[in-house]
């Protein structure tokens, strides 16, 4: 009669098999998500009820930045100021931006001091996207947008109270009126 060596039975063997099965399931699940092109930030938890084995896998969440669409020109109060202090540049640009683009243009005016640099001032917080859209419309670079109005800005006080944006017509826009 030959004796058999003890077989792999018992609670330790069962736990080892459960741990291996759980590890394989988690690995297959993660590989399937990666191959499917799922975004990062997917977290999964796999566990076997009644066992000591439990695996938790967490992937760092992705960072998403959204930019709100600008308000339409018909919802933007625009003050156009003539920075050159000669001619009717503010009147011409106000009419053009109102009739062609639909901006709510306030009464055209001059700056409080000569300012040959064309600029867009964001008067009301939250109108940065509208300033960028206006810059594109009139052909100014993004660097022409001033989002914090300095106290030295040549803008009449009343315009600071009524306008969402102020467009100063300087030398670069004078010829396009």
Residues 84 and 169 in one domain: yes
Tokens coding 97: 């931006």
Residues 142 and 77 in one domain: yes
Tokens coding 166: 């102020």
For position 28, what pLDDT does the model report? 63
Weakest-pLDDT range from 15-19, 55-59, 159-163: 55-59
For position 60, what pLDDT does the model report? 56
Across the range 147-165, mean pLDDT stands at 90
Which residue did the predictor score with more confidence, 68 or 78? 78
CA distances from 97 to 31, 57, 73, 100, 121 (A): 55, 56, 9, 5, 16
Determine what percent of the chain is predicted with pLDDT higher than 70: 63
Residues 80 and 153 in one domain: yes
Q: Does the reported pTM lie above 0.95? A: no
* C-alpha radius of gyration, the chain, whole number: 33
Residues 95 and 121 in one domain: yes
Across the range 9-34, mean pLDDT stands at 63
Looking at the domain assignment, is residue 112 inside a domain? Answer: yes
> For the chain, how many structural domains are there in total?
2
Average pLDDT of the chain? 80
Looking at the domain assignment, is residue 4 inside a domain? Answer: no
Look up the domain containing 42 and give its range: 11-58
For position 19, what pLDDT does the model report? 73
**Across the strands, what pairs with 43?**
58
Secondary structure string (H, E, C) spanning the chain: CCCCCCCCCCHHHHHHHHHHHHHHHHHHHHHHHHHCCCCCCCEEEEECCCCCCEEEEECCCCCCCCCCCCCCHHHCEEEEEECCCCCCHHHHHHHHHHHHHCCEECCCEECCCCCCCCEEEECCCCCHHHHHHHHHHHCCCHHHEECCCCCCCCCCHHHHHHCCEEEEECHHHHCCC
């Amino acid at each position: 009669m030959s004796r058999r060596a003890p077989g792999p039975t018992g609670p330790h063997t069962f736990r080892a098999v459960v741990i291996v099965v759980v590890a394989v399931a988690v690995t297959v699940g993660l590989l399937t998500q990666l191959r499917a092109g799922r975004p990062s930030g997917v977290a999964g938890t796999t566990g076997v009820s009644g066992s000591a084995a439990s695996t938790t896998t967490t992937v760092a969440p992705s960072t998403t930045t959204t930019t709100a669409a600008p308000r339409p020109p018909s919802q933007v109060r625009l003050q156009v100021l003539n920075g050159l202090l000669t001619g009717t540049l503010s009147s011409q640009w106000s009419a053009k931006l109102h009739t062609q683009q639909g901006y709510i243009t306030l009464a055209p005016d001059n700056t409080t001091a000569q300012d040959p640099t064309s600029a867009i001032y964001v008067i009301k917080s939250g109108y940065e996207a509208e300033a960028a859209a206006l810059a594109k419309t009139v052909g100014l670079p993004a660097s022409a947008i001033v989002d914090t109005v300095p106290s030295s800005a040549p803008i009449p006080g009343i315009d600071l109270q009524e306008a969402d944006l102020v467009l100063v017509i300087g030398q670069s826009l004078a010829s396009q009126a």
